Amino acid sequence: MTSKNDSLDRERLALLAAFQLSIGYKFKNVDLINRALTHRSRTNEDPQNRGNNERLEFLGDAVLGLVVAAELFSKLGDKAEGDLARIKSIVVSEDTLADIALEIGIDSLLLIGKGEERSGGRAKKALLADAVEAVFGACYIDGGFEKAKTLVLRYLVPEIEKVLENRHRKDYKTLVQEYAQKWHKSTPTYNLHTKSGPDHDRTYAMVCRLLEVDYGPAEGKTKKEAEQKAAALAWEAIVAAGGLEAERLLSLKKL
């Protein structure tokens, strides 16, 4: 009888075995973890490939959300619903999951198409975050909820602790917007300064305009990334000014 794993070459199987060892979970069906690490751009180009990670990502997103929500509910009984929701939104964010993907080496294991490869797909946060969720979904299918819960908590509990200790990556656009609205009844704007590079590999430079002052330009591979970096420059200037307003707002962001 032919095994499901026979279609995977020995090199790929070895890489997947090392990955499973590193995350602390051994799949009974290795095809599942291989699919979790396969982007749809690969299946579009490779007719021999038997599926991509989109459905697993959908399932993993639900598993991740439930596990993190339950953990927060259990461990932070003194927090209001709004605080729990804010912590959860940070912990399961694209930025956080992309960082986890890099930490466990998903960027090098991800199977992507040639076009996606040329456009820097291995470094795209959305692809990396989706792959992490797909791994969680694959673990749920392969081993059940408790195994998936253990895997999720292994990587997300440290992220929860970062938020509680205010060591997490800040959403500077939100910080700047709340500062402007709360203290100046104003709203920051973001304008495209320049864009460069070919269509498949653009670099954007954005400027954050706050209270008639421009901060930037700051560059990113997407407009969203460049806006965050420009907002970070604005926030640094606000805090550096030493104003009571900035310090008070900063304290509001701590739990």
Contact 72, 86 (CB under 8 A): no
In sequence order, the β-bridge partners of residue 196 are: 203
In sequence order, the β-bridge partners of residue 209 are: 189, 214
**Annotated active-site residue in 116, 133, 142, 159:** 133
The tokens of 89 are what? 């939104």
Contact 233, 208 (CB under 8 A): yes
Handedness of CA 114, 16, 34, 146 (dihedral sign): negative
- Decide if 133 is catalytic: yes
**By three-state DSSP, how is residue 91 classified?**
helix
Spell out the long-range contacts of 230-233 with Cβ–Cβ below 8 A and sequence spacing 24 or more: 230/190, 230/206, 231/172, 231/173, 231/175, 231/176, 231/188, 231/190, 232/170, 232/172, 233/208
Write down the residue that tokens 């076009």 correspond to.
115
**Annotated active-site residue in 61, 71, 130, 159:** 61
DSSP H helical ranges for 3-80 = 10-23, 30-36, 40-45, 54-75
- Decide if 31 is catalytic: no
Q: Which residues are catalytic?
A: 61, 133
